[in-house]
């Protein structure tokens, strides 16, 4: 069958993993863009970001937003991977239908 790259189990596993990735990274993106204090350790900041800023919270908030947008981009990549896995599952079902 044309376009068939992986089997049904690998496609199902890819769909489950991409679903989890979309949920997890979507939630992390939301929490980072709302500047959640719990995630401060995951923000890549240096001492200059804190001490040499005239408007201290703004630079930190910009870093929070940057990490949040990166999470949304990664979630979008997981959406593409999930669509690919879904297509592979359908192709495997068609192959199974044609064989039997």
Angle made by CA atoms 69, 79, 6, in degrees to the nearest 5:
140
Given a cut of 90, whether residue 53 has pLDDT beyond it is: no
Task: Encode pLDDT of 30-44 as tens digits.
Answer: 999 999 999 988 888
Task: Encode pLDDT of 79-95 as tens digits.
Answer: 999 999 999 999 998 87
Closest CA to 71 of 17, 26, 23: 26
Per-residue confidence band for 59, with pLDDT thresholds at 50, 70 and 90: confident
Q: Is the entire prediction scored with pTM above 0.75?
A: yes
């Amino acid at each position: 069958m044309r376009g068939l790259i992986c089997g049904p189990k690998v496609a199902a596993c890819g769909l489950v993993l991409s679903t989890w990735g979309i949920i997890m990274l979507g939630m992390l993106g939301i929490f980072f863009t709302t500047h959640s204090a719990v995630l401060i350790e995951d923000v890549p900041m240096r001492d200059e970001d804190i001490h040499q800023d005239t408007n201290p919270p703004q630079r930190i908030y910009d870093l929070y937003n940057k990490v949040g947008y990166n999470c949304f981009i990664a979630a979008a990549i997981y959406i593409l991977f999930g669509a690919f896995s879904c297509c592979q599952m359908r192709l495997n079902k068609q192959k199974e239908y044609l064989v039997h």
